[in-house]
Amino acid sequence: MKFPIYLDYHATTPVDPEVFETMAPYFTQVFGNAASRNHEYGWTAEAAVEKARAQVARLVRASERELIFTSGATESNNLAILGVAEMYREKGNHLITTPIEHKAVLDTCHFLEKKGYEVTYLPVDKHGRVNPEDVRAAIRPSTILVSVMAANNEIGTINPIGEIGKICKEKGVLFHSDAVQAAGKVPLDVEKMGIDLMSLSAHKMYGPKGIGALYVRRKNPRVRLAAQIHGGGHERGMRSGTLNVPSIVGFGKAAEIAERVMGEETARLRRLRDKLWDAIRSELDEVYLNGHPTERLPNNLNVSFAFVEGESLMMGMKELAVSSGSACTSASLEPSYVLKAIGVGEDLAHTSIRFGLGRFTTEEEIDFAIQKVVSTVRKLRDLSPLYEMVKEGIDIKSVQWSAH
């Protein structure tokens, strides 16, 4: 086993060796500019890009003509939201999203609010799911875009995006979905799900960092976007800039592999993830699952451990590379806004851990993780007077705390 054990696959994934191998020749041998129309170097590069475009498109059941390469999903989310906001300003100034989107969606919406747009942040239930009927109720004549993520990156909850897409179609409102975490783990189909714009990122699915895509529907309806980067007119004029051929080739390969192994891989990860959770909850009491019990990514487990201190928990399990529910923002320890939005209290948010399993996670690693988590939590609770009182049957809410 290699330490620390990597269980943070929602943050990023290693490049699959098969992907890396496919990319290699495109740095030194097939190095042409895909926009060079006058010679063989350009043509070969362009052909490689178009092959990759088809591979990525196939993963979400789109046509390759509807896919635009970007620098990653942060850019894809920006282009989708800003591009629609600018292009459809005449039609309206209202957008709908959720409070648990990735920052690339939320910060873009906040930016638009400063520019005079109005944004509705839909409520989510205690599992982090959007009720499609809430989308319907929030749509106004001035609504130009609905943006709801397919699966959440912290708690793994999967949204009913097919139902939301259907409502958007009925109402004639464009629907964008950030599908970064869902791609390769949940079957996606832009036609069946009524999706008009979809953001993808290669490095969350065993491709390289710094490359992503935006699906942009071409018909029923044809989505128009105001470009956010100008110069050269690449990518149907929506995203100028010389194409990153090696990374695009890698992204294509990663998508092809994802499509091929998805069924088998998700079954294996689900089994390992369930093994981890079953062991944690049978060995420990006062542990709480964050996110939906069934409608969740097969590789995600997010758990709050009561009566331990978040920082000590992380320090106690340094052999595990996991994420905690606290984000260090400007020197203060802020609990995760996603956990806050689903009603997890500050204490439990601070002691939450996100386990993200992936392609290279082994059974042996999960066995080690179980033993590490259980022993660390037990050790910390042994030192906790509060936990001891609870175990003795004292209702801590009724205790009169003295200042001295």
Ligand X SMILES: *Cc1c(COP(=O)(O)O)cnc(C)c1O
Catalytic residue IDs: 328
User: 208 preceded by cis ω (within 30°)?
Assistant: no
Closest CA to 161 of 123, 126, 125, 187: 187
Min separation Cβ 220 and ligand X, Å: 26
Closer residue to ligand X, CB minimum distance, 45 or 213: 213
Closest CA to 279 of 358, 371, 354: 371
Min separation Cβ 77 and ligand X, Å: 6
Residue numbers at the binding site for ligand X (CB under 6 A):
72-74, 102, 104, 149, 153, 178, 180-181, 201, 203-204, 212
| Rg of the chain, C-alpha, whole Å | 23
Closest CA to 216 of 104, 80, 108: 80
Closer residue to ligand X, CB minimum distance, 149 or 317: 149
Q: How far apart are CA 134 and CA 120, in angstroms?
A: 11
Closer residue to ligand X, CB minimum distance, 75 or 365: 75
Q: How far apart are CA 397 and CA 151, in angstroms?
A: 36
Closer residue to ligand X, CB minimum distance, 44 or 152: 152
- Helix extents (H) in 145-304: 161-171, 245-283
Min separation Cβ 361 and ligand X, Å: 18
Min separation Cβ 65 and ligand X, Å: 23
* Pairing label, strands 212-216, 67-70: antiparallel
- Say if residue 264 is exposed, middle or buried (CB neighbours under 10 Å; 0-12, 13-18, 19+): exposed
Min separation Cβ 378 and ligand X, Å: 32
Closer residue to ligand X, CB minimum distance, 34 or 205: 205
Q: How far apart are CA 350 and CA 333, in angstroms?
A: 8
Phi, psi of 112 (to 5 degrees): -65, -35
Closest-approach residue to ligand X (CB): 72
Closer residue to ligand X, CB minimum distance, 16 or 178: 178
How is residue 182 annotated by DSSP? T
DSSP of 22-85: HHTHHHHTS---TT--SSHHHHHHHHHHHHHHHHHHHHTT--GGGEEEESSHHHHHHHHHHHHH
Residue 399: Cβ within 10 Å count? 10
Closer residue to ligand X, CB minimum distance, 22 or 153: 153
Min separation Cβ 148 and ligand X, Å: 11
* Pairing label, strands 300-305, 320-321: unpaired
Q: Return the amino acid letter for 54.
A: A
Min separation Cβ 100 and ligand X, Å: 10
How is residue 212 annotated by DSSP? E
Taken in order 32, 35, 36, 37, is the CA torsion positive or negative?
Answer: positive
Closer residue to ligand X, CB minimum distance, 72 or 358: 72
Min separation Cβ 404 and ligand X, Å: 48
